Amino acid sequence: MSSEWPLWEVFIRGQHGLNHRHVGSLHAPDAEMAILNARDVYTRRNEGVSIWVVRSSDIVASAPSDKGPLFDPANAKVYRHPTFFDVPDEVGHM
């Protein structure tokens, strides 16, 4: 058995209505301790109203080597950006 605590990824919601944002990672023996540790490590300066933690090993990530096939095709599709409309002046800043 490994004596190392597993790694957890920490997500903090800064304000009501905003999304949880990834802020970093930490070690903890279980989810409950991970929440307490996250509170102590990542919310010392009044950063959060809510914390999520998830085992790092449970995150499924895209492979860096797939970057080309996954993301390059979107480069050439400018028509997917809403840049071909004239925004009426009354709308103001968008």
Partner 1 sequence: MSALGLSPAIAEFALRMGDSCLILGHRNSEWCGHAPALEEDIALANTALDLIGQTQLWLELACEAEGKGRTSDQLAFLRDVSGYRNLLLVEQPNGDFGRTVMRQYLFDAWHLPLLKALMNSTDKRIAAIAEKAAKEVAYHLERSADLVVRLGDGTAESHARMQAAVDFLWPYTGEMFLADALDEELVASGLAPEPGSHKAAWQEHVTRTFADATLKAPEKSFAQKGGRRGVHSEHLGFILAEMQFLQRAYPGARW
Binding site for partner 1 (CB under 8 A): 5, 26-29, 32-33, 36-37, 39-41, 44
Give the Cα separation of 34 and 5 in Å (integer).
Answer: 10
Task: Decide whether 32 or 70 has the Cβ nearer to partner 1.
Answer: 32
The minimum distance between CB 24 and partner 1, in angstroms, equals 11
Q: DSSP class of residue 64?
A: G
The minimum distance between CB 28 and partner 1, in angstroms, equals 7
Give the Cα separation of 61 and 5 in Å (integer).
Answer: 22
Task: Decide whether 32 or 67 has the Cβ nearer to partner 1.
Answer: 32
Task: Decide whether 44 or 77 has the Cβ nearer to partner 1.
Answer: 44
Cβ atoms 40, 56 nearer than 8 A: no
* 3-state DSSP assignment of residue 75: helix
